[in-house]
Chains A and B, each alone.
Chain A
Amino acid sequence: GAGVSQTPSNKVTEKGKYVELRCDPISGHTALYWYRQSLGQGPEFLIYFQGTGAADDSGLPNDRFFAVRPEGSVSTLKIQRTERGDSAVYLCASSFRGAPSSYEQYFGPGTRLTVT
């Protein structure tokens, strides 16, 4: 079946601009996660949704970052007043809660954000 998809695959924006990154999780997965991966590093957790609500947003670096999941499926990560330090690959993952095999998270290909 279809995996996690993310759009766009690449985004170049100017410092100070607003960007939106989209994630389509695997159909039927109730949990959705956003991570950020900087060059040479492992992914770092940003936010986790269970259904429509953000259950844990402790990884969001500051209030310029915001994410929504209004219908419990597609999610959008929004970054205001982008800074060069926001340049990274933004990864989305999903998982199915409620079964013993549900612990792993399945990742999308990522959106590479470059802030110039």
Chain B
Amino acid sequence: AQSVAQPEDQVNVAEGNPLTVKCTYSVSGNPYLFWYVQYPNRGLQFLLKYITGDNLVKGSYGFEAEFNKSQTSFHLKKPSALVSDSALYFCAVRDPNYGNEKLTFGTGTRLTIIP
């Protein structure tokens, strides 16, 4: 079974400060990990993914995430937050065993950037 935990329902960060949105996962093998962002009344937008290779992955809008296998974490980060980063963020995991294509999502973290 695969699962994701996002321990924080809400994260508030001052504009210009670094931000971190936390995610931990559980899968039976090596995970495929994803971050998506959801703006009001819009669908999920893909931000970045970890499949293999370098543990630090870079994505859209200046976001990056670090895969940590020993801590089973995949935290989303950005060096300097913008007000426009305010949105709902979802971490997702996929167990890459053959035939398994489904993503399992966390419950989401609402990020609010305070001007």
Chain A residues in the interface with B (C-beta under 8 A): 4, 31, 33, 35, 40-45, 48, 50, 55-56, 58-59, 91, 93, 100, 103-110
Q: Specify which chain A residues have a CB less than 8 angstroms from the CB of B101 in the assembled complex.
A: 31, 33, 48, 50, 55-56
- CB of B50 to closest CB in A, whole Å: 10
Distance, CA A58 to CA B94, complexed state (A) = 15
Whether B100 pairs with A56 at a CB distance below 8 angstroms is yes
Contact with A along B30-53 (1 / 0, CB 8 A): 001010100001111110010100
- CB of A108 to closest CB in B, whole Å: 5
Whether A33 pairs with B32 at a CB distance below 8 angstroms is no
Total number of B residues with any Cβ neighbor in A under 8 Å: 25
Can you list 7 A-B pairs, Cβ within 8 angstroms, ordered by A? A31-B101, A40-B107, A41-B108, A43-B90, A107-B36, A109-B41, A109-B43
Residue in A closest to B96 when the chains form the complex, CB atoms: A103
Known: A43-B103, A50-B101, A104-B46. 10 other contacts (CB 8 A): A33-B103, A35-B103, A43-B105, A55-B101, A56-B102, A103-B32, A103-B51, A107-B44, A109-B41, A109-B43
Q: Say yes or no: A104-B106 contact (C-beta < 8 A), given A48-B101, A56-B99.
A: no
B20 is an interface residue with CB less than 8 A from chain A: no
Distance, CA A50 to CA B98, complexed state (A) = 13
- Name the residue among B32, B36, B106 with the largest chain A CB count within 10 angstroms: B36
